[in-house]
Every structure is written in C-alpha cells, then in structure tokens.
Amino acid sequence: MNIHEYQAKELLRSYGVAVPAGNVAFSDSQAQAVAEQIGGQRWVVKAQIHAGGRGKAGGVKVADSIEEVGRITDEMIGMNLVTHQTGPQGRVVKRILVEEASDIQNELYLSFVIDRATQRVTIVASREGGTEIEEVASHSPEKIITETIDPALGLADFQCRKVAAALGMNDKTRMTQLVRIMKRLYRCFRDKDALQVEINPLAQVAGDKLICLDAKFNFDDNALYRHPDINELRDLEEEDPKEVEASGHDLNYIALDGDIGCIVNGAGLAMATMDAITLHDGKPANFLDVGGGASPEKVTNACRIVMEDPNVKALLINIFAGINRCDWIATGLIQAYTTLNIDLPMVVRLAGTNVEEGRKILEESKLPFLQADNLDDAAAKAVATVKGEQT
C-alpha cells in the first residue's frame, strides 16, 4: 500500500527526520492559509498523487506570493496529471501539499528496500538525486551504491558512514546528519513493515543542512492488520475502484488490458488460465479470484465486478472446486445471469466437488452457458467467441 507524500513526511517528522514545514490542502483558500501559517516568501505547491515524475509533468511548482499559491493550487486541483508513472490516462489531482521552498545546493538519492535476492533490507543510494533512479541505473550503474543490512545485527554505524562517504558527505556536519537520517529511516521502515522508503531528492540546503524534499513509502499489505495508523492513511480514490469494491466483498480483483473477463479460484489457476488464453491468442481483461467456499452471492458479485470493465467481451469462469462447490458456483452464475441481464457469452469450466450437480444445474437452466470440458477447451471457446464477435 502507498501513502501520499505529505503523509510520508508527517511519518518521517515523527521519527525526527528533517522535512520541510508544510501541510495538505484541498482548495486554493486552504493552500493560502497553509502558506501564511508557514510564513516566508517562497512556497512549493505539489500535486499529491500516488505516482512519481510529477516535477517534469507540471505537478511541482514554486510560488513567490500568497496569491500565486492560490492560483497554482486552483490550476492543479482537478487537473489530469500525466507522468511517466501514471500511464497515459493520468491521475486527477484532488489534494496538494504546500511547503516552504528550499534553496537546493545538491540532490542525493537514498532509499531502503527489501532486496528479493538477498531477502534483506538494502540501502540503495546515489549522488545522482533528483533524477529517475532507473535512468541512473541503466546509464551509469557504477553511480549506485548498495549496502545490505543484516537483520540480526541491524544497521551498523560503520555502514551508514560508508554510504555517507560514498555520497561525498565526508565532513562532520553532513556525515553526522546523514548517519542519523539513515538510522531513523531504518527504524521507521522496520517498525511499520515497509517494503520501501525512497527519498528523492534528499537535498543539501543552506547551512549544509540535509532535508527530505520528497518521500515515498510502500507498505506490506499483509502486515497492515498490525498497523491501523498506516491503514487509516489509505486513499481508496488512488486505487482501482473495481479492486477496492472486490476487496470489500472479500474477492481479489486484478485489472489487465485484454477483453476476456476471468473468474477463477486461486492464484495458481489464474496464472494457468492466463497462459491458456494466451496460447489461444487471446488476452485476459482481468482476474477475479473468488477464493474458497464461494457462495452464490459471492459469484454474482464477482460477475458484476468483472462486467463493469467495458473492455470485457466474454466471461470465462474456470473453477477447480475443492473447498468450493460446483453446484453453488452454478447457482451463482444463474443468479448473475438473470439479475444482471448478462448479454455476453459465458464460458464455464467446472471441475472437482459436486461437478455433476453443477453441470446439471447449468444445463437445466436452459441459459446459453457454453460449457467446457477442460481448461484448454474453455480458453479456446472464450477466445473464439471474442474473435467471432469482432468479425
């Protein structure tokens, strides 16, 4: 799960990490009030969306007067911001962060991330801050510094000093600050079960002060149950509405970009279904995992959510029932068909518990379900109906 930049900065502030004075605003008058409260002569107005690359896309602007803060905010709120991380459809800006502007002397990159290869929290740092780290990694990988943290020993002082020295922060003032920032970031990372914290840029400003000008957090969804304070920061408007609705019904929904809507049980079957569709030259529009013991109501909800995607031209229901019961799935499909007025082809492959009853229920309904004998047959039929429709 991601949080907004201003929330990330509040979290960092609570750990004693230096961030600029600032606050969130939802309107131009609020933004001006924030600017007045901060004081000073220059402010930065930053679009709060769960995507980076805002600077280049017009989502970070400097204002020289309170009036300008209002003007920029007015322009920014409601705008559709397209950055290299949002995809071409962009994101509508609903809130902004107003903060004191900093005079940047030097921009560094500093992040903590779980490295899958070593299965350890790893520091990734670079002198080339402010730019996309992916660019630095591909053009000049030697400019990326990494340091692996032993989970039993924790982050040692010598490791912090090593990274600080490699970043050119050799003098006592900056070294001391950077070591302290790294230790506090690591403590926060561990405390909150983060997967990543990225500070880009970590800026050197007047008086050789180091300050986090941008902060991004990613938290482990599976650990959120023990962090209600973090879970509360979740902004559902930044997530795919169908995924949010699905999770409300205890269903897992993943949006993709093809035209065959897939209802399956289990992540493994989802992957196999995707492979089968792809083998037949088709493309899945999404995946909805109904999990185990799915009731007819759950199946009906699943059909509704999958069909909300306008790209869906056919449904493929692929259930290998163990804990699930094919008769319940079939009853749910009939309920969906009649209550939702489905006019799309529905290919159904049932296997496992109560399969005979399930198939019989579908047959006796006299509804136009296309039953399939196996996964391959199901994928072939789904792709054929979609292609048939297009020609």
Catalytic residues: 109, 198
From residue 120 to residue 139, the character string flagging contacts with ligand GDP as x (rule: CB under 6 A) and all else as - is ----------x---------
Which residue's Cβ lies closest to Mn ion? Answer: 214
Q: What angle do CA 223, 95, 104 make, to 5 degrees?
A: 90
Among the listed ranges 36-44, 193-201, 269-277, 381-389, the one in contact with Mn ion (CB under 5 A) is: 193-201
From residue 151 to residue 190, the character string flagging contacts with Mn ion as x (rule: CB under 5 A) and all else as - is ----------------------------------------
Binds 384: which of ligand GDP, Mn ion, none (CB < 5-8 Å by kind): none
214 lies in the binding site for ligand GDP (CB under 6 A):
yes
Give the number of C-alpha atoms closer than 13 A to the C-alpha of residue 372, restricted to the C-beta side. 23
Selected binder of ligand GDP within 45, 93, 101, 314 (CB under 6 A) = 101
Selected binder of ligand GDP within 10, 33, 38, 53 (CB under 6 A) = 53
Min dist. Cβ of residue 45 to Mn ion (A): 15
Min dist. Cβ of residue 368 to ligand GDP (A): 50
Instruction: Give Cα separations from 63 to 35, 149, 204 (angstroms).
Output: 10, 41, 21
CB of 152 or CB of 206, closer to ligand GDP: 206
Binds 259: which of ligand GDP, Mn ion, none (CB < 5-8 Å by kind): none
200 lies in the binding site for Mn ion (CB under 5 A):
yes
Which residue's Cβ lies closest to ligand GDP? Answer: 55
Please say whether the beta carbons of 114 and 189 come within 8 A.
no
Among the listed ranges 27-35, 54-62, 266-274, 372-380, the one in contact with ligand GDP (CB under 6 A) is: 54-62
102 lies in the binding site for ligand GDP (CB under 6 A):
yes
From residue 252 to residue 291, the character string flagging contacts with ligand GDP as x (rule: CB under 6 A) and all else as - is ----------------------------------------
Binds 54: which of ligand GDP, Mn ion, none (CB < 5-8 Å by kind): ligand GDP
Min dist. Cβ of residue 53 to Mn ion (A): 8
Cα–Cα distance measured from residue 324 to residue 141, given in angstroms and rounded to the nearest whole number:
50
| Total of residues contacting Mn ion (CB under 5 A) | 2
| 59-98 binders of ligand GDP (CB under 6 A) | 60
Selected binder of ligand GDP within 21, 104, 137, 144 (CB under 6 A) = 104
- Chain center to CA of 205: 31
Cα–Cα distance measured from residue 226 to residue 209, given in angstroms and rounded to the nearest whole number:
35
Cα–Cα distance measured from residue 155 to residue 161, given in angstroms and rounded to the nearest whole number:
11
Among the listed ranges 18-26, 93-101, 208-216, 277-285, the one in contact with Mn ion (CB under 5 A) is: 208-216
Which spans of this chain sit near ligand GDP (rule: CB under 6 A)?
A: 44, 46, 52-55, 60, 101-102, 104, 107, 130, 200-201, 213-214
